[in-house]
Structure 1
Amino acid sequence: MKKAFSWSLILLLIVGMLSACSGSKNANGDGDKAIKLTVWAPEYSEQTMKVYKEIIAAFNEENKGKIEAKIEFIPRANKYAYEDKISTAASSNSLPDLLMMDGPNVSNYADAGIIQPIDDVVDDKSAFVDSVITQGTFDGKLYTLAPTESTVALFYNKKMLEEAGIHPPTKLEDAWTWNEFYEAARKLTNKEKGIYGVNWTLDYGEWIIYFSGPFVWSNGGDFISADTKKAKINEPEAVEALTFLQKFTKEGLVNLQPTPDEFETGKAAMMLMGSWEWNKLKDYPETEWGITYYPRSPKGKVVSPSGDWCFGISASTKHKKEAGKLLNFILNKENVLKVAKSENKPAARHDSFEEMKEWNEFPLSVLKDQVLHTAHPRPRTTSYPILSQKYGEAVQNIFLGADVKEQLDKVAKAYEEDIARKK
């Protein structure tokens, strides 16, 4: 009996040890229990959200029993509701494993410890366009990658320009200089008919720095110094660029209170607008339109804005390896192509972009040319939120007639005070 009891006890101990080992594997995600991953993204169109849901479902099927991901789309009730949610989650240590962010927020989030470097989990950085890599890099390390890119170009009404005898450039090397752009806008403005030479949206949001930044960079200016400690936005090159833009509003070539469809309905002959505009124009079949390159300073070359929403891995995730696997899956060739087509935006992967054949033909080829050859990201600094906000306010005032240098001095002062406080 003693021998039988001993063998039974040994058997029970072995079973217990195996159970403990099995439980340990489950806790680490190596057993039958799948690791749970959460993804945050801002609300998109129904079509794009459907595509992302399908991508996540395909990932879950491929990793069934090992990893299970869930995507949550956060409403943007106001322009910064999504960012506010991220800040709150960071404070309460409740961030998701993977999160999307707008391009200029990367440096701020990296510096604040909200996201972490991803060089060690990304499959192939070289697959992505240069502007996406630049946007996602902070302090020499890669923090984010994006599925799509964006740009801004000069859309124009074909009929109006033909009637005015104006022939917009079709090649990058022939891009209009500022003066040529101004003369075209002046010639196309017809105040009796209520037609403006050009339209550019006016708001206090991110658009102001996005569309006007290229004028500063093309003129040899910048917003901040290379080490991010000093402001340069009030230096002569930037002042000259904003003075040039002010001329349009002073002379009534731009409507200070435009309607949402001013260009589309023929009330503006040209429009500085993002690459997504061509999709909107499908709803206005009677409007014949074309695209030409971003106007350049006589002192420099064509510069176009770039930057789009991108994915990063939160610093608080307990599953970086698995989050990296999900990141690579979302950003593979096929899935980037699906997302880009759903948004009608340029794909941020070279191989995906090549599959979008319509972007090789005029006029969309202009947008592709800019994405690949003239793209410039917004300033990368931990004080970007202050810079963008104060600059937007200043430019609004400039367009209303305020002194350019005085307004840009205020931006420089606010930026340097904020960066000094952070340092």
Structure 2
Amino acid sequence: MKRKSILAVAGLSAVLVLGGCARAGQDSPSSGGSSEITMWTHSAGNPGELAVYQRIISEFNASQTQYRIVQQNFPQGSYNDAVTAAATAHKLPCLLDMDGPVMPNWAWAGYLQPLGLPDSLLDSLLPTTVGRYKGTVYSAGYWDAALSIFARKSVLDRNNIRTPTVDKPWTLDEFDAAVTTLKANGYRTPLDLGAADKGEWWSYAYSPMLQSAGGDLINRDTMKTAAGTLNGPDAVRFFTWFQQAFKNGWADNTGPVGNQRFIDDKVALSYTGVWNAKDALASVGNDLLILPPVDLGKGPKIGGGSWQWGISAGCKNADGARAYLKFSFQDKYLTAFADSQVVIPSTTAAAAASKYFSDTGPLHQFVVLSRKFALARPATPGYPVISSTFEKAAKDIMSGADVQPTLDAAVRSIDTDIKSQNGYGF
């Protein structure tokens, strides 16, 4: 399963979208007298996800008579286009989900209003599941994803490689030594970094490595420039290592996308996410290790911030939308969502009740990694440009481009976009 922490890609024609939006965006009294509130999701084609939503909606609608939630589902690939077209036509639904890193762009563009949920609820959620832009909460989510390095204990033991822990992760020198040893002892390509993937995966997966090395996508103190963070000495050192990993044959970008090469024991180490853990467990069993990320100098980091819920700026029934969202964040629903989709519940209580993520669950390590190492992507409206620019630069470097000039060009592109938008309000 390709987890939906990855940013949706445009795909549906504006003409078709607008036709649907004009109808879906009208919240009005239903035949029973209750106010109808439309809710959009990106979940078409995901029956497990839809089943949990249908349960929540059914139980909310049955719990009161003032509001009635009506769900409409879009394929993930066309979802962002649908939202953009509906916003242009002033036909957004009241409730809509969104990938966490795109939320600041939608808030800045005027699509969203402050979420307005109780602080007690928001404080109970994992920090990376609460979306803030300029100090205001605009979104919140039921779950998060997390990255890890999958390994087989038997393979590490056979090669006399230390098993890292969250308190003592691999250093970069240890990691380099490990993949060198594995390559010399039977693995033609010992490491799967997921480099055959595309789109938001590149920022989600590799910018935490950059941050662990001391760089970043942008200066988060000001949100006005990438200079010095994306092209400074720490970033150059990281990308020099990144390029060398491919030159040395430790990793490649031949694919397939996913975790199949690890399951088939064609690679010894797989940098992948919680969405691949269930299949890995089924294939590898008790030999599976869910390892922390490598400490590249400034502490381990992994990506955080996935799909979340918000309320549109023009919602006529914002009180009802908030009532539904508050209802939907019950722990029993978060647990059901987590166990259906194999994602990390956003509350401690929901994780404790999960068959996968409880303290004794086989995937509890992902909860530990998320709480200890997760870092959200920069909360700026400029993020979509930052992400696509980062992907191009990283792919060019992987393919052999000179590191410093490539990063300098990326910084110029990002800073030019920020200046063209008057700093995006910062």
Give the structure-2-normalised TM-score: 0.86
Provide the C-alpha distance between the structure 2 equivalents of 1:74 and 1:392, rounded to a whole number of angstroms.
26
Q: Structure 2 matches for 1:319-358, cutoff 5 A? A: 319-356=317-354, 358=356
Quote the residue 1:119 is aligned against: 116
Is 1:157 matched with 2:155? no
Specify the alignment match of 2:60 in structure 1.
59
* Alpha carbons of structure 1 residues 30 and 273: separation in structure 2 relative to 1, 3 Å: closer
Consecutive unaligned residues in structure 2, runs of 5 or more: 1-26
Q: TM-score, normalised by structure 1?
A: 0.86
> What does residue 23 of structure 1 align with?
none
What SS does the corresponding residue of 2:190 show, helix, strand or coil?
strand
CA distance, structure 2, for counterparts of residue 205 and residue 290 of structure 1: 28
Partner of 2:174: 180
1:87 equivalent to 2:84? Answer: yes
Deviation for aligned residue 1:395: 0.8
Aligned to 1:257: 254
Check 1:119–1:184 CA distance in 2 against 1; reply closer, same or farther (3 A cut).
Answer: same
What's the CA shift string for 1:123-171, capped at 9, x where partnerless? 62111112223xx0111110000000111111112332222122312x3
- Measured in 2, the distance between the counterparts of 1:236 and 1:303 equals 19
CA contact under 8 A between 2:281 and 2:288: conserved in structure 1?
Answer: no
Question: How many Å separate the matches in 1 of 2:281 and 2:289?
Answer: 13
The alignment status of 1:246 with 2:247, answered yes or no, reads: no
Q: Could you say what secondary structure the match of 1:189 adopts?
A: helix
Q: 2:138 aligns with which of 143, 154, 166?
A: 143
1:37, 1:323 within 8 Å by CA — same for their partners in 2? yes
Q: In the TM superposition, what are the counterparts of 1:182-261 in structure 2 within 5 Å? A: 182-189=176-183, 195-202=188-195, 203-225=197-219, 226-231=221-226, 232-260=229-257, 261=260
CA distance in structure 1 between the partners assigned to 2:391 and 2:173 by the alignment: 24
Q: Deviations over 1:293-340 (max 9, x none)?
A: 11012x322222111100011111111100001111121211111111
Q: Does the 8 Å contact 1:185/1:253 carry over to 2?
A: yes
State the secondary structure of the residue aligned to 1:291. Answer: strand
Partner of 2:380: 381
Bigger Rg over Cα: 1
Deviation at 1:204, TM superposition (A): 2.8
The equivalent position to 1:99 in structure 2, one of 96, 100, 111, is 96
- Counterpart of 1:167 (choices 142, 155, 162) is 162
Paired residues, number? 388
Name the CA distance, whole Å, in 2 between partners of 1:285 and 1:292.
14
C-alpha separation in 2, matches of 1:127 and 1:30: 34
Secondary structure, aligned partner of 1:353 = helix
State the alpha-carbon separation in 1 of the partners of residues 87 and 36 from structure 2.
19
1:31-65 Cα shifts (integer Å, max 9, x gaps): 961111111111263112111111111111112x3
Please, what is the CA RMSD of the aligned residues? 2.2
Aligned partner of residue 93 in structure 2, secondary structure: coil
Q: For residue 284 of structure 1, give the secondary structure of its aligned residue in structure 2.
A: helix
Residues of 1 paired with 2:47 and 2:280: CA distance? 19
Distance 1:123 1:62 in 2: 22
Conserved 8 A contact 1:197-1:269: yes
**1:68–1:174: structure 2 CA closer, same or farther, 3 Å change rule?**
same
